[in-house]
Amino acid sequence: MNDRSLLKISKDIPYRYVRKNGEVIDILLSAIADRDSDGRIVRSLAVSVDVTEQKQAEKALRRAKEELSRYSKELERKVQLRTKEIGDILRYTPAVIYIKDLTGRYMLVNSRFEELFGVQNEAVRGKTDTEILPQPVAAQFQAGDAAVFESAAPVQVEKRIVQNDGLHTYLTVKFPLFDETGKVRRLCGIATDITAAKKAQDKLRRLSASIITNQEKERAVISRELHDELGQVLTALRMDAVWLLERLKAADPMGAERARDMCRLIDGTIQDVRSLAFRLRPGILDDLGLVDALELYTSDFERRTGVTCLFDAASIPKMDDTVATAAYRIAQEALTNVARHARAAKVEVRLQQVDGRLILSVEDDGRGFPVSVLDAAETLGAAEALGVAGMRERASLVGGHLEVYSRPGEGTRVRLILPVQALTLERNTEVKS
Ligand SMILES: Nc1ncnc2c1ncn2[C@@H]1O[C@H](COP(=O)(O)OP(=O)(O)O)[C@@H](O)[C@H]1O
Ligand SMILES: [Mg+2]
């Protein structure tokens, strides 16, 4: 009998086995048997192997695979959702958005870009500005891009572009996009059309400039009429009263006393009229300039309010009439605030030239106030704090700016800062229209 006549049988039987300690182990029993032609088992071999760990590993692998597939589906869903969201943002935003690579070739432009330049995203992809935009616009764009790539930082600029319906102003922010190693790979630009806001701002500017100019003119006229016309009438009246007084002195002492009262009353009125005319528009501002006008105003302020008022002026450069008027009015408003709000004992008005700037400061030792109330009033558009808003407006109309420092209990300092070149420049050309 040789091996060939034997029938080989092999069988794997998995079964479970519970140990005394309750632990379940998986066993694989592999049995091999040889039978002869009559079916009798002539020899057999059985091996049982503990496959618990293998089983567990298989189970864990299966679970991990399922988990992974669930996760990647979820991820795909999220990516699709985000892509759609970003796509919608790009489509519906009123801003012009584009992405370029390092060589300045467009990778993506949004629908506003397509509308604005009359191009299609597909047609633009891979092209540079020079290929799709008018030359001057392209050159302007490319110069800006270079700055972003060099600095690897965001850049914000205002750009003017001629469109079919005229000149538009865009507020553009360009920023670098980095790859995972931190290298700049692309550039993204977002441009917002601020033409309407710009126009409204310009209009408001012109309006407030013309209101201020007209107000000054009217004040000057009223001031002159008060001083000249009313002043002359009062002077004539006074001469008559004196004449009466002289006539009545001997004959009618009671009548003379009346005439003397008249003289006093007229004198007081002449003083009031002069002071009113001066406050409306000091002629001295036009005749002698800012320093003399402030000198006079501050001493008048001290007399009227009882607050000690020091005035100090270094030699200052010549300036335009509008600048001198703005500075004078700002000092006037700041001092009015001192009288009205500060409860100060002393205030110092200083006019000096520092590092190419003319600085007018009004500093009091009063009770101070939280300057945040000014910002709050500004954002709320409240009717309060119009005095400070007016000072700011006057300052910016002549090319300077205003700073207000204050804290409760620490006094207040208002500073008008004017670059010296703004003092005599032919300004307001754009404001006049
Ligand atoms: N020198 C000052 N001392 C204390 N408080 C001040 C001074 N100047 C301004 N303020 C505060 O700032 C507010 C805004 O001033 P302003 O714009 O001139 O408005 P207004 O004088 O009409 O109240 C004032 O109401 C006051 O509370
Ligand atoms: Mg005020």
Q: pLDDT per residue over 150-169, tens digit each? A: 899 999 989 888 878 888 99
The whole-number pLDDT of residue 247 equals 93
Final residue in a domain of this structure, among 261, 281, 301 = 281
Q: Burial of 184 by CB count in 10 Å (0-12 exposed, 13-18 middle, 19+ buried)?
A: middle
Residue 122 has pLDDT above 70, yes or no: yes
Total structural domains in the chain?
4
Ligand 2 centroid distance, CA of 387 (Å): 4
Q: Which-ligand-closest: CA of 339? A: 1
In DSSP terms, which residues pair with 160 in a beta bridge? 169
pLDDT in tens, 257-283: 999 999 999 999 999 998 888 888 888
> What's the CA angle centered on 125, arms 155 and 123, to 5 degrees?
125
User: Does the C-beta of 365 come closer than 6 Å to ligand 1?
Assistant: no
Q: Are residues 348 and 328 in the same domain?
A: yes
Q: Are residues 370 and 395 in the same domain?
A: yes
84 belongs to a structural domain: no
Q: Is 373 helix (H, G, I), strand (E, B) or coil?
A: helix
Determine the average pLDDT of the residues in 279-293.
Answer: 86
User: Does the C-beta of 366 come closer than 6 Å to ligand 1?
Assistant: yes
80 belongs to a structural domain: no
For residue 116, give the nearest of 69, 56, 185, 162 by alpha carbon. 162
Contacts of 226 by beta carbon, 8 Å cutoff, 6+ apart: 273, 276, 277, 280
Q: Are residues 422 and 298 in the same domain?
A: yes
Final residue in a domain of this structure, among 235, 266, 281 = 281
> In this structure, are residues 184 and 154 in contact, taking their beta carbons and an 8 Å threshold?
no
Range 223-227 contact pairs with CB under 8 angstroms and sequence separation of 24 or more: 223/277, 223/278, 223/280, 223/281, 223/283, 224/277, 224/281, 224/283, 226/273, 226/276, 226/277, 226/280, 227/273, 227/274, 227/277, 227/283
Q: Which-ligand-closest: CA of 404? A: 1
User: Does the C-beta of 167 come closer than 6 Å to ligand 1?
Assistant: no
User: Does the C-beta of 388 come closer than 6 Å to ligand 1?
Assistant: yes
Q: Are residues 234 and 147 in the same domain?
A: no
Q: What is the DSSP letter of 138?
A: H
Which protein residues have their CB within 5 A of the ion that is ligand 2?
337, 387
Q: Are residues 288 and 432 in the same domain?
A: yes
Q: Which residues of 42-67 are buried (b: 16+ CB within 10 A; e: fewer)?
A: eeeeeeeeeeeeebeeeeeeeeeeee
Average pLDDT over the chain reads: 89
User: Does the C-beta of 342 come closer than 6 Å to ligand 1?
Assistant: yes
Token reading at 147: 């700055």
> In this structure, are residues 187 and 177 in contact, taking their beta carbons and an 8 Å threshold?
yes
Token reading at 51: 């496959």
User: Which pLDDT band holds residue 244 (cuts at 50, 70, 90)?
Assistant: very high
Q: Are residues 255 and 314 in the same domain?
A: no
Q: What's the CATH number where 39 sits?
A: 2.10.70
204 belongs to a structural domain: no
